[in-house]
Amino acid sequence: MVLPWHDENPVSRAPVMTWLLIAINVVVFLLSPAATTPLGPKTSAELCSQAHYYEHWGAIPKEMFTGHQVVTHTLYSEGGVVHSCADDTRTKSPLLSVLTSLFVHGGWLHLAGNMLFLWVFGNNVEDRFGRLRYLLFYLGCGVAATFGHAALSTGSTTSLVGASGAIAGVLGAYLVLFPRVRVLSSLTFLFFLPLRLPAWLVLGGWFALQYLYFRGAGVSAGAGVAYGAHVVGFVVGMVFALLVGRMARRERPERARAFGW
C-alpha cells in the first residue's frame, strides 16, 4: 500500500473548500457515537447507539431504491444474552441520506485515511475547477459512487458511510489533470520507505488495487469496504476531468509561487 504525504504541485490560492470539507468531516465524526463512546469493549447499548446512528445518517441500498424506510435488526451478544437493536422510531429521508452518508465515518482510521488523501490531492483539483464547481464535483462523485455501489446489491440493508467515493472522484480527476506531478509517498510493505513517485503511479496503483478488491467480491465483503464505490467514484472523476478539466481556469505560475502553497 502507498501512503501519500505531499505533492510537488503548488496552487494559486488557498484551498478553502478542501479545508472546509475536511473540517466538516472531522467535526461530524467527533460528534458521532464512534468518537464519543469509550475505547475498548462496548456494551450492547453503546453498540446499538452506533448502529442506530449509521442507519439514520448512512445510505441503505434497499431504502435508496424503494424510497421507503426499512427497520433493521442488528444483533449483539453480551454476557451470553443476544440483544436486538431494532429501531422503528427513527425517521429519515432515503435520498437525503445519500448526501449525509458522505460525511459519516466508521472509525478513526477510516476518517484519517480519507482526510489524508483529500488533503494531499484536493487542493490542486479545487484550484483547477474553482471552489463552487469543485464542491459540486465532490458531492456529485460521492452521490454517483454511492448509487453505483448500491446498485450492485439493491436489497441490502447495510449502511453505506464515508467520503471514500467522493474522494475517489478527486483522485481520478487529479490523475487526468496532473499525471506527472511527483508525490512524496511511503511504501508500507517496505517499512514506510519514502519515495518521490509520479502521480500516475501512485493513483493508478491505488485504483488498480481497488478494482482487484472489487472483483474479488468475497474479499471486499469480508473487509466491510465499499470498493465498488471507490471504482465508480474514480471513473466519474476521470470522465469529468476529461470533459471539463481541460477547459477550467489555469492559474499563472507566478501567482502560484507568490502564494507558496
Name the packing angle between helices 16-30 and 131-150 (round to 10°).
Answer: 50
* C-alpha atoms less than 13 angstroms from C-alpha of 76 in its C-beta half-sphere: 15
List, for residues 142-154, the tens digit of each pLDDT value: 999 999 999 988 8
- Note whether 94 and 42 are within 8 A (CB): no
Q: Which structural domains are found in the chain, ordered by start?
A: 2-259 (1.20.1540.10)
Determine the pLDDT at residue 195: 86
Determine the pLDDT at residue 158: 87
C-alpha dihedral sign at 208, 19, 10, 5: negative
In this prediction the pTM is 0.85
Phi and psi at 57, nearest 5°, equal -100, -15
Grid coordinates representing 234 are 474514480
Amino acid identity of residue 19, one-letter, is W
Low-confidence ranges of the chain (pLDDT < 70): 38-45, 71-84, 86-90, 188-192, 217-224, 245-261
Which among 186, 190, 217, 224 has a CA at the least distance from the CA of 202?
A: 186
List, for residues 33-87, the tens digit of each pLDDT value: 888 776 666 666 677 778 888 888 999 999 998 877 776 656 665 555 556 676 6
Give the chain's length. Answer: 261
Please tell me the distance from the alpha carbon of residue 211 to that of residue 234, in angstroms, as a whole number. 10
Give the DSSP H/E element, type plus range, for residue 112.
helix 108-129
Grid coordinates representing 90 are 427513527
Please tell me the distance from the alpha carbon of residue 223 to that of residue 221, in angstroms, as a whole number. 5
